[in-house]
Structure 1
Amino acid sequence: MTDAQTLIENRPPSVATLFVQRVAATPEAEAYRYPVPAASGQGPDDWKSLSWSDAAERVYAIAAGLVDLGVQPEERIALASATRVEWILADLGILCAGAATTTVYPQTNAEESAYILADSESRVLVAEDAEQLAKARERRAELPNLKHVVVIDPTGVEPSDEDPEGWVVSLADLEERGNRYLATHPSAVKERVEAITAEQLATLIYTSGTTGRPKGVRLPHDNWSYMAKAIASTGLLTKDDVQYLWLPLAHVFGKVLISGQIELGHVTAVDGRVDKIIENLPVVQPTYMAAVPRIFEKVYNGVAAKARAGGAAKYKIFQWAAGVSRAYAKESQDTFRRTGKASASLGLTAKHKVADALVYAKLREAFGGRLRAAVSGSAALSPEIGFFFAGAGIHILEGYGLTESSAASFINPAEAYRTGTVGKPLTGTEVRIADDGEILLRGPGIMQGYHGLPEKTAEVLEADGWFHTGDIGELSPDGYLRITDRKKDLIKTSGGKYIAPAEVEGQFKAVCPFVSNILVHGADRNFCTALIALDEPAILGWAKENGLDGKSYAEVVAAPGTVQFIEGYVKRLNEGLQRWQTIKKFRLLPRDLDVEHGELTPSLKLKRPVVEREYKDLIESMYDGSREA
């Protein structure tokens, strides 16, 4: 048995136990950093720290407060908040009380929030602020099980005569209540943690359904304990790392990062404000960060736009450096695969050195200057964008997993990573490819099932533990997995040709630095079309230089010159595609796709049916009267 297998086999029953062990092992070490906005509202944030013992004091107070409210093991506590340090403290408090966290995205509307709270039978809601409280108040009649709402930030919360007595309390009040309870019941939290079993429900995460109601994925304590040990066993991270955590913690990808950090004991800087990422990176100076592909795409587009704004010469240098970066990364990875040592030809290495001084060094500095590795997950990263960053010294390790597999099932090995693949399975996770190409997984990270939906569970989870992911993929002889598409998203044209839209979409994102989102359509049609949303800052910068200065985004994308400009990128895309894959027609959308309109999931995945339904007329306009094959 390997060291990794031993580590995993000897895992404790819960992350709550791991947390207690971490606090005992390194009580004074720094655990979390978090921003406190300047009192004036102007100027940079002031970053504060919590040691593991500081965090434990608050976590145990929250746990004891919940126990005093009468919360029983496995009862659900909903958590509706953006990513912030209090989210983590509340989640750990819930787990240490033996209860289970139901995650709710703060962007979720009142109707769907109420559905999740009712379906999960959540007894307490931890709400970030007055806005989240208002959703619960609006639907309180539908939530007979909801006994209390705990508000993290009570600013602007007004008392309501319609609230039952004691229904709304602040997080500070809950912690104070917990400390009073611990004064008379000092072993209450310890007893709850020791009583947790591996199969006890820890988390209920509702998937962002593209159609119908979301399903609650039941993840027991053992899932997170396994993930913590499996992440540690990869050797990617150490106790000396600094993680920048901004991902939504309501999503399984963000949630799993908490488990790994507790096992390793490294520092995590927590701030979920996406608009602060660029500002925070030089301050946090992370050595490690996880992100979704859209963030890397936006950085790439931003760098390209900045170079273009610097004039033709500067843009030519950027384009040359980008080409060198990709070539260098591809050659280095290929030689590593063959020889175990990354290297490139002398000529390419010389070019790379020049490009590094001109472009790459500044890019690394923008990421804080210390970033050793970044993990990309939740959706496919365009290989060409991955190779660009790899050659520039920003090593993006793609990984793969689902809510149903506790997020992390595959990850690329550090030095041996291969752009375009999601790496190898974590120790303890089994994989096989079905006859139709579907990826099947089995192991300690797989869910118990869908909450209250045994028939839906049986559709994807076999009796012997194999989980049907719904994704199509290929395994290399040495175990690297490449995802080719979602099983349900494969397009079959009326000519009988199968097309993977995500593959075409990814190639376009690599070709066109102005794209934000793209949807390729062609199911049961005789040719493929595309809906394209442009990156607003990038295209408005182009517009300023091309006679459209002062125009709104909608006016710019409607201009014939813009359409002609983007058409050039579509033609370049088509040059690298099979005839049946090519985009014959496209339309530019009047605004970008977003979470608020329901077109993207909170983890920024495209909701194809929603977009196709919303822009049905635009799609039909591309096929009207056409007989093109």
Structure 2
Amino acid sequence: MYRHIPDLLPYIEECLGLGWFTRNSILGSLHPWAFGSETAAVKEFALAAEKPVPHVLRPGEAPSLPWEEWSKWTWKDYYEDSRKLAKAFMHFGVEQFGSVTIFGFNAPEWALSAMAAMMCGGKFVGIYSTDTAEQVQYKVDHSNAAVMVVDSHAEFAATVAYIEELTCLNAIFCWGTFEPAVLKRKDGSECKVMSFKEALQLGESQGSDEALAQRMQAMRPGHAMGIIYTSGTTGQPKAVMIHHDSAVAQGAIGTLDNTGVLDGYPARIISYLPLSHIAGSLMDLLFPVYMAYTKNLHSTVYFARPYDLKEMTLAARLQFVRPTIFLGVPRVYEKMQARMMAVASTITGIKKSLATWAKGKGLEYCRNLQAGGSRSKPFMHTIAAGWAGGAQGAAPISRETLEYFGQLGMMIQNVYGMSESAGIATLCHKDFNEFGSVGQAPEGLEVKLFKTGEKGENIEVPRCAPGLKVVPEENQGEICFRGRHIMAGYMANPRFGEEHVKDITEKNASTIDQYGWLHSGDKGYMDTNGVVRITGRYKELIIGAGGENIAPVPVEEAIKKSAPALSNVMMVGDNRKYNVALVTLTAEGATGELPGTDKLAGVALEVNPAVKTISEAIKDPIWQKYIQDAINVANNDPNVCISNAWKIQKFAIVPRDFSIQTGRMVRAERNGRGRKEE
């Protein structure tokens, strides 16, 4: 199952000798010898950020600084500062297999801290920006972090709120504004607080190069390099252990010609997705160093501003960076689409006619490029293309949004995976892109669909014919993965007691079976071309009062398709006589992590121009009819609601959008979390 991943034999050979480090650790790419010449490492920039972060001039307006005013790190700087920081970590007690927690928005210091944690044989552990002080305390304690790196006052305050309980924490490094201190606990232990610059100076002056070299030589491909905390609907979050070889396997996927990932390198990457998630860390931290080593392609990561998503100013960073490869989650693309549609609605006259004609040609060509299409350009497409743009992205997303960008010349490739698979499990290839699917398994990785037998065995479900509107239940099963990319498991901490260890042991056994298959919990089917589609989530299946199994995702998606002003739709019907829907409206400031305001935004302002807020929309008959009409369309579509038990009978508008911050996120973006009903 592994034989198709490039360079596997050299990896195995070098594992047996002293040269394993440069190939089997993602860190090997950081060393200057990996570039072929030190000149490249010295001159080419790896990291760039605006420091200090400028303020927003006015709502929605925050132009980027001139390039000369950006702070920059060459690849050599990146490597040397990571070494200094690694020695500082060791000075403050980060042991082999230890942990360093990182709390703050994406920044060069985040990347340096992650690399330094790996260099000294430890793990980097990202803290989510929305985590409460209690959640921060749990993750720092559970990961046995000896050092924490934070951005500024807010992150520092959330950390020290439980400093008495964090007896393992020896130091806090701050890369933003801070006040020097020595925090003393009641038991007499201390936690040193110092600036990031001071930490670098400490590592350079007092750190041991010999000790660091020993740590690096002691690392092995199966050792954990990072922890991604993934939350469930109940209980504490699980600590997914990502190992060095899983990152190498993901890097190898990017070097396969048919994926299209390699086309974006050497890359200009804009870092804005949280680095505490696997998607952000894979794209912004791991892929660039792997590509630098294996392909001699040196990329630059540009860091967005912390407020760019909330203030809707990411466009200014995109215009400045002009990324060659762009990764986005559905929420980001949907927000972009809403904003672009709002602008497009203001265009009138001949400009509107030309734009409509050009987009029609673009959509025709976009569909021709889909799997099974003619791949031919329609007549006058070249002229029409002058009215469009170009980009490349990756994310599970609705077909309508994919086609919207496709008609503009932006061919988005869907990628599907989870933290437990270290990122990519399937993806749409550039030469076999099929909207509405999550693509095929890359070479070297295995994907199969199983149903569970009476004795708990895996029973593979048969593949179906391509293009079916309704897929029989016998062709659907749980999507499972196997390969080098699979996590080392969920981490247990013996200090947390026997029950905790037993619980994590059971979760590991239920997630990765005895044959090495990772069970995603997602329900779907695979056609004879190997293309995978997701139809729901087993934990999210609604069991009606009559015992019917109802998959809510197709119904929710159909409603959103008919009513683009809706932000989220959540179907509720467990043990009920009928289903109801909770809907949220597109609002200013809603990002998925944040709930946003009461003010409507984008196309939501067009439903009834006299209504400007969610509060007003809740009582507005025009809005009520708008939503009910969309529900009626879904209810009457036999491809969506296959029986009356699937139909929605009532709905209610929720006053605020679902978000992580409020604890009302309907579901994570296919990352293994279950359905949460409020």
> Is the CA contact 2:232–2:674 (under 8 Å) kept in the aligned structure 1?
no
Letter in 2 for 1:270: F
> Is the CA contact 2:366–2:411 (under 8 Å) kept in the aligned structure 1?
no
Shift of 1:94: 0.7
- 1:568 paired to 2:639: no
Separation of aligned partners in 2, 1:608 and 1:6: 32
Match of 2:337 among 291, 300, 304: 300
> Is the CA contact 1:514–1:539 (under 8 Å) kept in the aligned structure 2?
no
> Is the CA contact 1:62–1:90 (under 8 Å) kept in the aligned structure 2?
yes
> Is the CA contact 2:251–2:287 (under 8 Å) kept in the aligned structure 1?
yes
Q: Which residue of 2 aligns with 1:256?
A: 282
> Which structure dedicates a bigger proportion of its chain to helix?
1
- 1:534 paired to 2:585: yes
Q: Which residue of 2 aligns with 1:151?
A: 174
Match of 2:505 among 454, 459, 465: 454
Separation of aligned partners in 2, 1:277 and 1:562: 30
Separation of aligned partners in 2, 1:48 and 1:600: 36
What is the SS of the residue equivalent to 1:612?
Answer: coil
Shift of 1:308: 3.4
Shift of 1:67: 1.9
Shift of 1:332: 3.5
Separation of aligned partners in 2, 1:598 and 1:59: 36
The CA deviation string for residues 583-611 of structure 1, in whole angstroms up to 9 with x for no partner, is 33221111212221022389667999786
> Is the CA contact 1:129–1:157 (under 8 Å) kept in the aligned structure 2?
no
Change (3 A) 1:466 1:382: same
> Is the CA contact 2:666–2:676 (under 8 Å) kept in the aligned structure 1?
no
Shift of 1:63: 0.9
What is the SS of the residue equivalent to 2:262?
Answer: coil
Letter in 2 for 1:15: I
Match of 2:649 among 563, 581, 584: 584
Structure 2 spans left out of the alignment, 5+ residues: 12-22, 293-298, 453-476, 493-503, 589-598
What is the SS of the residue equivalent to 1:424?
Answer: coil
Change (3 A) 1:589 1:607: farther
Give the alignment of 1:436-447 within 5 angstroms: 437-447=477-487
Shift of 1:124: 1.3
Q: Which residue of 2 aligns with 1:270?
A: 303
Match of 2:25 among 5, 11, 14: 14
Separation of aligned partners in 2, 1:431 and 1:218: 21
Separation of aligned partners in 2, 1:426 and 1:480: 11
Moved more, 135-144 or 556-565: 556-565
What is the SS of the residue equivalent to 1:167?
Answer: strand
Separation of aligned partners in 2, 1:326 and 1:38: 39
Letter in 2 for 1:29: E
- 1:414 paired to 2:414: no
Separation of aligned partners in 2, 1:41 and 1:582: 46
Match of 1:382 among 398, 407, 414: 398
Q: Which residue of 2 aligns with 1:168?
A: 193
Separation of aligned partners in 1, 2:200 and 2:361: 55
Change (3 A) 1:216 1:2: closer
- 1:247 paired to 2:284: no
Separation of aligned partners in 1, 2:410 and 2:25: 34
The alignment of Structure 1 onto Structure 2 pairs a total of residues equal to 589
Q: Which residue of 1 aligns with 2:615?
A: 554
Please give the TM-score of this superposition, normalised by the length of structure 1. Answer: 0.85
Separation of aligned partners in 1, 2:88 and 2:666: 33
Give the alignment of 1:28-107 within 5 angstroms: 28-37=43-52, 44-46=63-65, 47-107=70-130
Separation of aligned partners in 2, 1:49 and 1:508: 46
Shift of 1:151: 1.4
Identity score, percent: 26
Shift of 1:316: 9.1
> Is the CA contact 1:595–1:602 (under 8 Å) kept in the aligned structure 2?
no
- 1:333 paired to 2:370: yes
Change (3 A) 1:334 1:397: closer
The CA deviation string for residues 214-265 of structure 1, in whole angstroms up to 9 with x for no partner, is 1111222222122222222345225422222211110011111121111113
Give the alignment of 1:218-617 within 5 angstroms: 218-233=241-256, 234=259, 236-238=261-263, 239-257=265-283, 258-265=285-292, 266-271=299-304, 273=306, 274=309, 275-310=312-347, 328-336=365-373, 342-343=375-376, 346=378, 349=379, 356=385, 361=388, 364=389, 371=391, 373-376=392-395, 380-435=396-451, 437-452=477-492, 453-537=504-588, 539-540=600-601, 549=610, 551-576=612-637, 577-578=640-641, 579-580=643-644, 581-600=646-665, 612-613=677-678
> Is the CA contact 1:245–1:290 (under 8 Å) kept in the aligned structure 2?
no
Q: Which residue of 1 aligns with 2:17?
A: none
Letter in 1 for 2:220: T
> Is the CA contact 1:74–1:201 (under 8 Å) kept in the aligned structure 2?
yes
Shift of 1:24: 5.9
> Is the CA contact 2:327–2:394 (under 8 Å) kept in the aligned structure 1?
yes
Shift of 1:37: 4.4
Shift of 1:458: 0.8
Moved more, 492-501 or 189-198: 492-501
Shift of 1:320: 8.0
Change (3 A) 1:459 1:280: same
Separation of aligned partners in 2, 1:102 and 1:425: 28
Moved more, 541-550 or 107-116: 541-550
> Is the CA contact 2:109–2:175 (under 8 Å) kept in the aligned structure 1?
yes
> Is the CA contact 2:171–2:191 (under 8 Å) kept in the aligned structure 1?
yes
Change (3 A) 1:536 1:325: farther
CA RMSD of aligned residues (A): 3.2
Change (3 A) 1:503 1:322: farther
The CA deviation string for residues 563-600 of structure 1, in whole angstroms up to 9 with x for no partner, is 22333333344443335333332211112122210223
Letter in 2 for 1:261: P
Separation of aligned partners in 2, 1:543 and 1:408: 34
Separation of aligned partners in 1, 2:44 and 2:201: 25
> Is the CA contact 2:447–2:481 (under 8 Å) kept in the aligned structure 1?
yes
Letter in 2 for 1:524: N
Separation of aligned partners in 2, 1:389 and 1:134: 42
Change (3 A) 1:36 1:319: same
> Is the CA contact 1:23–1:56 (under 8 Å) kept in the aligned structure 2?
no
The CA deviation string for residues 275-312 of structure 1, in whole angstroms up to 9 with x for no partner, is 43222111110111101011111112222223334579
Q: Which residue of 2 aligns with 1:115?
A: 138
> Is the CA contact 1:335–1:343 (under 8 Å) kept in the aligned structure 2?
no
